[in-house]
Chain A
Amino acid sequence: MSLIDVENLTLQFKTDEGLITAVDNVSFSLAPGEVMGLVGESGSGKSVTAKSLMKLNPGNAVYSRESKITLHLDDGPVDVMSLNRPRDMEVARGGAISMIFQEPMASFAPAMTIGSQMVEQLLIHTDMSKSQARELSIEMLDRVGISDASTRFGQYAFEMSGGMRQRAMIAMALSTKPKLLIADEPTTALDVTIQAQVIDLMKDLVDEFGMGIIFITHDLGVVAQTADKVAVMYLGKMIEQGPVREVIRNPYHPYTQGLIDALPQLDDLDKPLMPVPGDIPSPLERPEGCVFHTRCGKIIGDICRTAVPSWADTGENHRTACHLCHEGRHA
C-alpha cells in the first residue's frame, strides 16, 4: 500500500492581481521507503506542492475542492485536506511528515540553541520527558555524523558550518521518526563535496528508517543518484513521471529532454550547453492548452495551444502528458 496519495491537487493564491494558479491538478503517490525526485525550474510549483502535504502554504492559498491528500499511517488513513485546527495538523507537521529546507542557516531560529529546538519538537510529538528528548536529540546528532554531539546540542546555528547545519537539520527532522521526509533542495546551498556527503547520509537513513522521501531539486544529476522515481513539473503542472533511470534515458516530454540537455557534460566539454529556450512565463499569464507550448520546439499544431494534454503511458510505469504521445510519434 502506498504511504501517501495525492490526487488532483490544485492550489491557487489569492493576490491583489487576482487568483494565481501555483499547482494545477497534480496527482502522484509514494510507497514507504521510496524516494521520489520532484524536478523543475524555480517557479514550477514543486515547493508549493510539497508544502501542501503539510498545509504549510500561506493563508492566501486556496485549495480546490477536488484536491485530496491521503496519508496512510499504521492507525488508519489521514485526510490531510480536512485538518483545520493547528493541533490536528501536528501529525502532518513534524509528526508523520518532516521537512528540511534549502537554507540550513535560515531554517534554525538564530537566537535558540539547536538542542532547544530539537527538544521542543520532540515534546510536541512524543510522550518523552525533557531529559529523554535531550538524550535522543544528542543520539540523532551523533547518528548524522556530528562529532562531539553533546556540545553541539548546546550551540547555535551560527556556530556551525553549512554542512553541519544541514546534518543537524536532518537529525532534527528524523528525530520524530516521520514516515515521509520532504527535502526541499537540501543540498543546493552546500559545496559539491558536502552535497555528496549529505546525499549519502540521506540514502543511508532511508534504508535504516524505511521512510519515503520527496526530494525537491532542479538538479537532475542529484535525482539520478538518489531517487527511485522522478516527477517533472512545469508551471504548476506535472508533465512526466516514471522510474528515474527510464525517464533519464528515455525522456519523452520535450521539457524533460530540454532539462537533460541543459546539464553540463564533463566527458564532452566542447559540447555547447543547451538551455531550455525562453523563460518560464509569469504565473499571471498561464498559457492556454499545454502550459509548455510557448517554449516548446516540437509543437505539432493548434492542439498544443488549445487542448490540455492528458496522460499517456510511455513506458513501464512511465507516463507523460504531451500531445505527441497521442499522435503516436516519439518526440
Chain B
Amino acid sequence: MEWGVSAPFQMLAGNNEMLQFARFAATRAVMAVVTLVLVSLIVFSLMELVPGDCAERYLAYKNTQGSAITLADIEAERARLGLDRPFLTRWASWLSGAFRGDFGESCILRVNIAQLLGDKFWISLWICLGSLTLAYMIAIPVGIISAASRNAFLNNSLRLVSYLGLAMPNFLLALMVMLFSTIYFGETLTGLFSPEYREAPWSWAKFVDLLKHAWLPIFILGWSATAFALQTVRALMSDEIGKLYVTAAAARGIYGRRLLWRYPARHALGPIVNSLGFDLNRIFNELPIVALILTLTEAGSLLLEALARSNDQQLAGAIIFLLTAAIVTLNFATDILLAVIDPRVRKSILR
C-alpha cells in the first residue's frame, strides 16, 4: 500500500529547501524552548504562591516530630536554601537547574529530587506513550474502516464500544481487571516490577519484567484514549470522504483501499497528528488514579502524593515541568511531522 510519504522527502531534496526546512525546524525549536521558559515561570510562581516556604514547612514538619524551632532556625534554613534571594534570581537558578535535570531538594523528604524521581518519571512517560500508541494503532484503521463503511451493525457496535470507553472511568476498569485476575487466575496484577527486580539495576531481564507488568496500565489508560481517538479519527474521515476530490478520484477509476488510503485517509492524518500532544496530556492526567489502584509506586502516583499528602511544592513543580517539557517536545515533533506530510504547511514555510 502506497502512502505517498516518500514524495515529501523527494520534495525536500533540493539543497535550498533543505536549508529552509532546517531554519523552520530551528525556529520551532527556539519557540519550544521559549514556551518551556514561560511555563517554568508560571509553575515556579505557583510554587511560590503556596503559603509558607520550604524552610518554614520543613521546620514545621520537624516541629511535629518533637524538635523545638526558633525564628532564627527558620532564617538560617532560608539562607541555606537561598530563599532570601529575589524572586527572579531564584527562578533563574531553578530554571537553569531544571534544564540540566537538577531540581534541587525536596522540601520534606530532604533528598535530591532527581534522585527521588529516578526512572519513575521516564517509566510513567513511556507508559503514557505506550497507551497513546496503542490508542492510535487501533483507532486509525478501525476509525477509517468504520467511516468508509455503511454497515449499520459494525458502526453501531463500534459506537457502543467507544461510548463505553468514554463513559467508564479508568479506575473502575482497573478495579474490574484486578478483581477478575485475582478470582480467575489467582494473580494480583499490581506494581510494575516483580519484587526481585524492584531495586535491581537495569538489565534485559528487568526490562522484560517491566513489559510483563506494564501492559495492564497501558491497556487501561489506552482503553479510554482509544475510544476518544476513535471518535476523532471517524469524524475526520467522514468529513474527508464526503469531499469532492474523493469523488473526482473515483471518477478517474481509483477504487477500494487505494482510494481510501491515498485520498481521504492521508488528508485526515494532519489534524490527527496535531492532536497528539493534547492526547498525551490527557493520558498523563489519568495516570495517577490508575497508578494508585494498581499500586504503581514507580509511576504518576508520586505527583499525587507530592501535591496532596506532603505539600511538597519542589517535587510537584519538578514533575509538572518535566511533563510540560515532554508535551512541548511532542508538539515540536508533530509540527515537524506535519510539515513533512502536508505540502500546504511545508510550502508556507519554504519561501
Tell yes or no: A56 within 8 A of B by CB: yes
Tell yes or no: B266 within 8 A of A by CB: yes
| CB atoms of A99 and B254 under 8 A apart | no
| CB atoms of A89 and B344 under 8 A apart | no
Decide yes or no: A94 and B267 within 8 Å by CB, A101-B244, A109-B245 being known contacts. no
CA distance A101 to B252 in the complex (A): 12
Q: Which of B243, B249, B342, B347 has the most CB of A within 10 A?
A: B249
CA distance A108 to B243 in the complex (A): 10
CB distance from A186 to the nearest CB of B (A): 12
Give chain A residues whose Cβ lies under 8 Å from the Cβ of B341.
111
| CB atoms of B251 and A93 under 8 A apart | yes
Interface members, chain A 91-109 (any B CB < 8 Å) = 93-95, 98-99, 101, 103, 106-109
Binds B, one of A23-31, A118-126, A132-140, A251-259: A118-126
Tell yes or no: B205 within 8 A of A by CB: no
Tell yes or no: A70 within 8 A of B by CB: no
| CB atoms of A56 and B247 under 8 A apart | yes
CA distance A46 to B343 in the complex (A): 35
CB distance from B84 to the nearest CB of A (A): 58
Task: Give chain B's interface secondary structure class.
Answer: helix
Smallest Cβ-Cβ distance to B264: which chain A residue: A109
| CB atoms of A89 and B4 under 8 A apart | no
Tell yes or no: A188 within 8 A of B by CB: no
Give chain B residues whose Cβ lies under 8 Å from the Cβ of A103.
244
CB distance from B113 to the nearest CB of A (A): 45
Tell me which of A89, A120, A154, A156 contacts B255 (CB under 8 A): A89
Decide yes or no: A90 and B253 within 8 Å by CB, A109-B267, A111-B267, A158-B344 being known contacts. yes
| CB atoms of A110 and B245 under 8 A apart | yes
Q: Which of B11, B245, B256 has the most CB of A within 10 A?
A: B245
Give chain B residues whose Cβ lies under 8 Å from the Cβ of A86.
255-256
CA distance A160 to B343 in the complex (A): 14
Smallest Cβ-Cβ distance to B342: which chain A residue: A111
| CB atoms of A94 and B347 under 8 A apart | no
| CB atoms of B251 and A110 under 8 A apart | no
Interface members, chain B 239-268 (any A CB < 8 Å) = 243-245, 247-256, 262-263, 266-267
Tell yes or no: B7 within 8 A of A by CB: yes
Q: What is the number of contacts between chain A and chain B, taking CB atoms within 8 Å?
A: 82
CB distance from B77 to the nearest CB of A (A): 60
CA distance A221 to B131 in the complex (A): 61
Give chain A residues whose Cβ lies under 8 Å from the Cβ of B7.
112-113, 116
Tell yes or no: B309 within 8 A of A by CB: no
Give chain B residues whose Cβ lies under 8 Å from the Cβ of A223.
none
CA distance A313 to B251 in the complex (A): 36
Q: How large is the interface on A (under 10, 10 to 19, 20 to 34, 35 or more residues)?
A: 20 to 34
CB distance from B265 to the nearest CB of A (A): 11
CB distance from A211 to the nearest CB of B (A): 16
Tell me which of B244, B248, B252, B344 contacts A156 (CB under 8 A): B344
Tell yes or no: A59 within 8 A of B by CB: yes
| CB atoms of A94 and B244 under 8 A apart | no
Tell yes or no: B150 within 8 A of A by CB: yes
| CB atoms of A110 and B344 under 8 A apart | yes
Smallest Cβ-Cβ distance to B249: which chain A residue: A109
CB distance from A118 to the nearest CB of B (A): 9
| CB atoms of A93 and B347 under 8 A apart | no
Smallest Cβ-Cβ distance to B245: which chain A residue: A109
Q: Interface digits, A18-59 against B, CB 8 Å rule (1 contact, 0 not)?
A: 000000000000000000000000000000000000101001
Q: Which of B248, B254, B263, B342 has the most CB of A within 10 A?
A: B248
Give chain A residues whose Cβ lies under 8 Å from the Cβ of B256.
86
Give chain B residues whose Cβ lies under 8 Å from the Cβ of A56.
247, 250-251
CB distance from B263 to the nearest CB of A (A): 6
| CB atoms of A156 and B347 under 8 A apart | yes
Give the top 7 A-B pairs by smallest Cβ distance, nearest first.
A86-B255, A94-B253, A107-B248, A94-B252, A106-B244, A90-B253, A93-B253
Q: List 25 A-B pairs, Cβ < 8 Å.
A: A56-B247, A86-B256, A87-B255, A89-B253, A93-B251, A95-B253, A98-B252, A99-B251, A101-B244, A108-B245, A109-B266, A111-B341, A111-B343, A111-B344, A112-B7, A112-B266, A113-B7, A117-B249, A121-B253, A124-B252, A154-B11, A156-B343, A156-B347, A158-B347, A159-B347
Measuring CB to CB, which residues of chain A are less than 8 angstroms from any residue of chain B? 54, 56, 59, 86-87, 89-90, 93-95, 98-99, 101, 103, 106-113, 116-117, 120-121, 124-125, 154, 156, 158-159, 172
Measuring CB to CB, which residues of chain B are less than 8 angstroms from any residue of chain A? 4, 7, 11, 150, 243-245, 247-256, 262-263, 266-267, 270, 341-344, 347
Given contacts A124-B253, A124-B254, A154-B11, 14 further A-B contacts (CB under 8 A): A56-B247, A59-B150, A90-B253, A101-B247, A108-B248, A109-B249, A109-B262, A110-B245, A111-B344, A120-B252, A121-B252, A121-B253, A156-B343, A156-B347
